[in-house]
Structure 1
């Protein structure tokens, strides 16, 4: 649909790429702005622009486009940009005045930009005020793609493909939800373009080198609840960068939100109190095979039928006064009689006193391709297309009243605002001017309906997809403000999409019709009305989404703000909702429990955010609920934060749960760990960051009369829901002065640091030191009923006003080894007290038979023997029994080396526990359902080698019912299991250690080595280290140095923590640094050095020794006298063995240094 075409008279823009089109296109844009909005269409071709464009409010620009990854490279509408060369401060190519703008189906090409002489340009697109939509755009070689200048709201940026020479998408100053999805940034977009069209398309090697050294894919500054979905950034310096904004006078926080299906590196630069809080849903194994399926665009049944309701014989007025209902309905009926088509409502305000019916195959379409909650476009009407609704006001029977708009099967409503001008104003109180009720705004009458780019303001009940079967429906890209119910889905619906739907009390305003209309309107009166009157009503009455008899629906970005409830799952006609997937569907500030489940099953939430509410509970299942709810990546924040789940029935699985949390740390420049599983937040923004004795650190400088403190807020998943795990706490401090340091923490869950953890004296050595302690009963998160900001953990330095320096704070859940069987001379437990028992009755010799055959490369101090097991190998040894429990009933792991004489058959296993709780046991019938039920394929030979040593780790989490199998350091499979792991005894190597050969087929034949049991699930990193270092244990110090490494260098060691920070060889490097850099802590001549450098074309590759779980920085200088070291890269993750980094060759000779980061 186009209101004007740039190649038509009077504009006559040249589509050959020869003549400048700037003036003609600007004239067309201005004319559309005068009309009140519309769409400007560019037919396929090349359009040269020597100047820049300004797009008025409510104007959309559309061209001809196809994805460059789907045969569309060099095709469609190509805008050739020449303005702004070599001047980043010049005017951007496109900027906007007003809002409700959309750019889609366009390609941008800079014909004067070359890869061998890259010059800067201003942004291709600049957002000045209100948000906008960018959709289906290709940037062949933009320097900067999209940038933000001034305050605005929620953007929609989708299906963007580009090669960017500096920054692809920068998003800033977004104080509401924003969507960035289906992004593909790669040097291939430019390199693969056809030279006949994109004449400066470079060789891939040339542009790849540039991008790897210079390109930032996404730069996220100040963003509230940003949603990232399906993001790919290839061959870039930084894939996604989170940073603090510099556009706020007071500084301002950085981005927080949710990421899913991301293929891009992430770098966080922390320059303020909290930056980069992005929940990465991809970290859950269960999400790997789950994806959102993007719906196909809806099209009318007849593409050649277009009826304009402003033209005769319909002649709708669109003046905000005349009732245009009959004119619109006549046009709809005519389109239906013609077999389908489009009924177009140009910019205007159309009064509809009664109701409308959209026939099958017909789309009722307005002028808008993007909607927003508040004022947008010009300050006075017309503002795009608006319907003024009055039908059924305060009807005595709302349920029998016809809706304002009924959508027949295979029909569509698109591109308009629906406003209820007579709605109550809640002033001076809600009682004085209460809300008016109205029947449903929109009702679906059948399958395959489409509702898109719609804003519904001040309605009562909005979208009804539950009165009829609306299978295949699509709701996408709209804002609403329901006073009662927002979206209701049921009626036997099977399949459909809810996509980027924002429901909020903020979708209330309409230009020229202000509510309330109060003389002497002041900001104070406005705040009282908004936050007292209106907010209280929404929070006591409005429900965002209701699901009844519906199944197989996917939702992405179904959001609500300031409602009573976010979502309800209810019974309808004896059925409940089933198989519903919700991708990144958060709620904020609910007045009641956010999620209520009364009926339903298999309801899955990926990236679920819950922000403050008033009940202390974020989720409730009623006693009648018997299904399953899974939540992956639960983000709870605010004050109060989160809350407890209130479980009345059914199964609710919240991930992460159990014992699989790792460690996390915070430094002045970054944080590591799983964001929101452990997040640190500095309490006092005035704490400045300085460099002291070679380290970046916090300067905690006391105000006169106070004590310097480092006050850390802790939000760790391990402490949620009443859990009190043991945790190791440590921090680094600068040992100056001679004062006392006290460390307090919250031991009772009231959010106050009330228990002394420990104390120590500063001794004035001037060195950086580490202090650590074990916290046995931490309740930092207050059992999730309430998190008091900044009052969970306190490091208090009683220095009498002397500054105190802290460079690192860290928490870690110790990976506790609870039982170990070394087979030194039998099957004794070297850690615990559960010795193995070998039976002596019957035919078979059951005494242990030991062997010196052990895995190659075993570490120093490792077990010297293996154990022979089996009835056939090489003699009859059935195994042994552990008669007392050795496995944690909540979460745990076991590690074992084995050498099998042959392929382990389905009926054979290493472990047998009390029926039916079996380890490594497949099969069917009464034997099924054990932990290994999902591991049959891996067990029967796909992941290990016969007659060779193999390493296996099995971990289990009974809370989640999730098991993991690792073979030789690699995750080989996951499984869910119904039977919980709590065996009273375990047979190892045999089925029942019988005194006859009836169980011969069930026996494992081979060698077993170093059996270990842990009281928590082991991380993949820990599993990898166990495999790489046979005979080691998965325990490490607070600074991540494994015990086995310290044992190898410090025989007879007792205090591992002290050893890890010691410098026994006096070379200036503590043991932990020598571990991560591959040097010998007992040899002063063994130091950290760059191992190799290589020139590869114009690339320079540096390689150095490293270990996993470390980070490095790279700097360079062109002169050593004096040296001015400039940063090249930071937060380079260490790899096992060696780490390499590729940079470009400098024009002049350069020196490089690699440093291990703290």
Structure 2
């Protein structure tokens, strides 16, 4: 870039910055004031609502706005913002976690950013499928090198990159330059679990997103609305244990081609990506769940490679892979399991799928186009493969496995853009004890009551809050914690917003007694972790003795929701019976009896949820007599309590419920369907279950992509039930169920 170009850029960026100062406005909270960050010694900004240029599913609450004092990140693209943004992240972390907001503008970054645990770096995001103004743009002016690392943006555990668009100004389609990965999950330590990349675009990336390229590991990585053009690899991931979820991922040359003044010619991009780019490179991911995945114009759409610990096993639903040389290339699959692919389309001009392993690629409702299947091919005896493959096949060789049920599943899909009720832009900040020592029930209820008149958000900044009394959230009000993304306690580290639930223990009628929190119509809970400190499963000499308690959260009207919540040591979790159009997303739990129940309602969605006893053991709360993962987890928790008692999701007389991308470890039953009509469940899994994975009694249901480790896959008493793509260890040939 010559001097005159730089001058023009600077003048234009100054105009953009001036516009951005008026385009977004912070809305101050009721009674909020400046506070001092004791650890950093800097004046912290009060939490506030920020209005964005582009629509969001939630109200954006910023704990720090990085363009303001004392950070002054330059939104014109002229000055280097790397240190300013990093200082804002560091101060947010020191204050206990929260959200650092970058208003719409261009931010020049010349080095690596590290988003620490329990912090979200959030921008103003325009969906690139709806326009090319973009909002918050990170101008990545980093050295061009072939190395994978250092990445531009590194993401810790319970941390997130959200609403960011990244552009590489020195990239040139005629002279392609290599760069390290844009987003990276290093894993391990406080970065081990639940990293989020949400609403992020990479306009002209070389390498997009990666996880654990070295010998580290990670769990529960969450990728949603990740879009972009990538010249080498869109994503590469290794060594994930507890299940991650990917939703709404789109990889295509169009994003750079449609980038306005930042664009390159579409045909040139296509020629390059068809010759050089790989969509997703996946190593040892355990049961990762993909929904609504689109990959276009790559050399290979999906490449399954040898892992560092094991091999890939996972589930894909609504995957569309088009205009690739090879749609799916499998060089390594966990041969005990395989992978499941459903309601999808795979196109490869050379080969739709190449399977070079002995693992099964099990398909249902998959349309295969272009070149033939290849590798060590065996056509399953129950498959009617010819009906869906539009290519002329060569003679198959008899070793590897493809299995395809050709039933048309196109009618069975989810609303991937669904979101719960959005409250009004009014903010009420709780000022109460944040150590967990004092009961804050009265103060919290008073603030909730104050919000009832206008609706809005009652915000609990990072800290620990004790509730000894029941709480009611009025209609249209959201009870909100400090995180913009899903969080869980990390091993030895528990920042963010935590509520100690102390009400309802030892309930006489745990199914019906008053809940700790009651949600009225269109009310919800977001960004909070709940723990029952008085209900540990560890009692010396008394295995399996936990206290029954009422539900933690109960809905009392339509439109109720729980998003980005965690629950530990609850007997019962969420009760949304009688609540039409309820919404649950990213619930991370360890519940002793039941995590979620819904019934006598219509149109609910449960997505991206996980239950595991590690939610109990991995924390830094310092609670007495708490479960130790190494010595007590199995005898005191799994074997004595959850594998015997926990019915994870129960749907009783529900109608049109959708459940997807959900997993549980060590429960009795994953899903119970009792008289529920037209249930759709896909991408579900259960590991080390104590009983039958799916129990169906009456009603009707369609279940697709169902993975388990042990036990029976289902029982059926009078349900009109269809199950496609069942998969269990060492028994990959379980047939379709239609009754």
Same fold (TM over 0.5): yes
Question: Residue 527 of structure 2 aligns with which residue?
Answer: 415
How many angstroms apart in 2 are the aligned matches of 1:502 and 1:480? 6
Per-residue displacement from partner, 1:463-512 (whole Å, max 9, x unpaired)?
Answer: 1112xx2001100011011101111111x211110111112222213533
Question: Equivalent of 2:691, from 585, 592, 598?
Answer: 592
Per-residue displacement from partner, 1:766-806 (whole Å, max 9, x unpaired)?
Answer: xxxxxxxxxxxxxxxxxxxxxxxxxxxxxxxxxxxxxxxxx
How many angstroms apart in 1 are the aligned matches of 2:336 and 2:320? 21
1:328 aligns with 2:450: no
Question: Residue 634 of structure 1 aligns with which residue?
Answer: 726
Q: What's the TM-score once normalised by structure 2's chain length? A: 0.79
Question: Equivalent of 1:444, from 534, 555, 569?
Answer: 555
Contact preservation (8 Å) 1:479, 1:507: yes
Contact preservation (8 Å) 1:476, 1:500: yes
1:579 aligns with 2:678: yes
How many angstroms apart in 1 are the aligned matches of 2:555 and 2:511? 15
Contact preservation (8 Å) 1:374, 1:506: no
Distance 1:276 1:526, change over 3 A: closer
Question: Residue 9 of structure 1 aligns with which residue?
Answer: 69
| Helix, strand or coil at the partner of 1:545 | strand
| Helix, strand or coil at the partner of 2:317 | strand
1:483 aligns with 2:575: no
| Helix, strand or coil at the partner of 1:328 | helix
Contact preservation (8 Å) 2:115, 2:160: no
1:560 aligns with 2:664: yes
How many angstroms apart in 2 are the aligned matches of 1:178 and 1:399? 31
1:497 aligns with 2:605: yes
1:235 aligns with 2:297: yes
Per-residue displacement from partner, 1:654-700 (whole Å, max 9, x unpaired)?
Answer: xxxxxxxxxxxxxxxxxxxxxx4xxxxxxxxxxxxxxxxxxxxxxxx
- Structure 1 residue 29 displacement after superposition: 0.7
Q: Which one has the bigger strand percentage?
A: 2
How many angstroms apart in 2 are the aligned matches of 1:322 and 1:510? 24
Question: Residue 264 of structure 2 aligns with which residue?
Answer: 202
Distance 1:505 1:511, change over 3 A: closer
Question: Equivalent of 2:545, from 424, 428, 434?
Answer: 434
Contact preservation (8 Å) 2:722, 2:738: no
Question: Residue 606 of structure 1 aligns with which residue?
Answer: 704
Distance 1:605 1:416, change over 3 A: same
- Structure 1 residue 70 displacement after superposition: 1.5
Q: What's the TM-score once normalised by structure 1's chain length? A: 0.51
Contact preservation (8 Å) 1:441, 1:463: yes
- Structure 1 residue 46 displacement after superposition: 0.7
Contact preservation (8 Å) 2:614, 2:629: no
Distance 1:594 1:275, change over 3 A: closer
Question: Equivalent of 2:153, from 90, 94, 119?
Answer: 94
Alignment of 1:52-91 (within 5 A): 52-71=112-131, 73-88=132-147, 90-91=149-150
How many angstroms apart in 2 are the aligned matches of 1:231 and 1:512? 36
How many angstroms apart in 1 are the aligned matches of 2:433 and 2:176? 54
Question: Residue 297 of structure 1 aligns with which residue?
Answer: 419
Question: Residue 430 of structure 2 aligns with which residue?
Answer: 309
1:154 aligns with 2:270: no
How many angstroms apart in 1 are the aligned matches of 2:522 and 2:704? 30
Alignment of 1:310-459 (within 5 A): 310=431, 316-337=432-453, 339-375=454-490, 379-381=492-494, 383-431=495-543, 434-459=545-570
Question: Residue 618 of structure 1 aligns with which residue?
Answer: 713
Alignment of 1:173-192 (within 5 A): 173-192=239-258
- Structure 1 residue 532 displacement after superposition: 2.3
Distance 1:58 1:540, change over 3 A: same
How many angstroms apart in 1 are the aligned matches of 2:169 and 2:336? 38
Distance 1:501 1:380, change over 3 A: closer
- Structure 1 residue 579 displacement after superposition: 0.9
How many angstroms apart in 2 are the aligned matches of 1:22 and 1:28? 10
Contact preservation (8 Å) 2:217, 2:240: yes
How many angstroms apart in 1 are the aligned matches of 2:337 and 2:66? 43
How many angstroms apart in 2 are the aligned matches of 1:507 and 1:621? 31
Unpaired segments of 5 or more residues in structure 1? 311-315, 571-575, 642-675, 677-715, 722-958, 962-1158
Contact preservation (8 Å) 2:107, 2:137: yes
Per-residue displacement from partner, 1:1108-1139 (whole Å, max 9, x unpaired)?
Answer: xxxxxxxxxxxxxxxxxxxxxxxxxxxxxxxx
Per-residue displacement from partner, 1:501-535 (whole Å, max 9, x unpaired)?
Answer: 112222213533357748xx9xxx85441122211
How many angstroms apart in 2 are the aligned matches of 1:527 and 1:26? 36
Question: Equivalent of 2:633, from 504, 507, 530?
Answer: 530
Contact preservation (8 Å) 2:118, 2:487: no
Contact preservation (8 Å) 2:337, 2:729: no
- Structure 1 residue 268 displacement after superposition: 3.4
| Helix, strand or coil at the partner of 1:584 | strand
How many angstroms apart in 2 are the aligned matches of 1:430 and 1:179? 37
How many angstroms apart in 1 are the aligned matches of 2:649 and 2:421? 27
Contact preservation (8 Å) 1:295, 1:497: no
Per-residue displacement from partner, 1:738-785 (whole Å, max 9, x unpaired)?
Answer: xxxxxxxxxxxxxxxxxxxxxxxxxxxxxxxxxxxxxxxxxxxxxxxx
Per-residue displacement from partner, 1:575-617 (whole Å, max 9, x unpaired)?
Answer: x2111111212222221122222232x211011222212xxx3
Deviates more, 1:229-238 or 1:284-293: 284-293
- Structure 1 residue 159 displacement after superposition: 0.9
Per-residue displacement from partner, 1:945-970 (whole Å, max 9, x unpaired)?
Answer: xxxxxxxxxxxxxx959xxxxxxxxx
How many angstroms apart in 1 are the aligned matches of 2:610 and 2:221? 12
Distance 1:273 1:65, change over 3 A: closer
How many angstroms apart in 2 are the aligned matches of 1:565 and 1:276? 21
Unpaired segments of 5 or more residues in structure 2? 1-60, 344-363, 366-406
Per-residue displacement from partner, 1:221-250 (whole Å, max 9, x unpaired)?
Answer: 0100011211111110111111112xx3xx
Per-residue displacement from partner, 1:894-925 (whole Å, max 9, x unpaired)?
Answer: xxxxxxxxxxxxxxxxxxxxxxxxxxxxxxxx
- Structure 1 residue 428 displacement after superposition: 3.9
Distance 1:89 1:598, change over 3 A: closer
Contact preservation (8 Å) 2:313, 2:333: no
- Structure 1 residue 278 displacement after superposition: 1.6
Alignment of 1:948-987 (within 5 A): none
How many angstroms apart in 1 are the aligned matches of 2:472 and 2:668? 32
Per-residue displacement from partner, 1:708-739 (whole Å, max 9, x unpaired)?
Answer: xxxxxxxx34xx69xxxxxxxxxxxxxxxxxx
How many angstroms apart in 2 are the aligned matches of 1:631 and 1:269? 25
How many angstroms apart in 1 are the aligned matches of 2:679 and 2:148? 48
Contact preservation (8 Å) 2:198, 2:224: yes
**Structure showing greater Rg:** 1
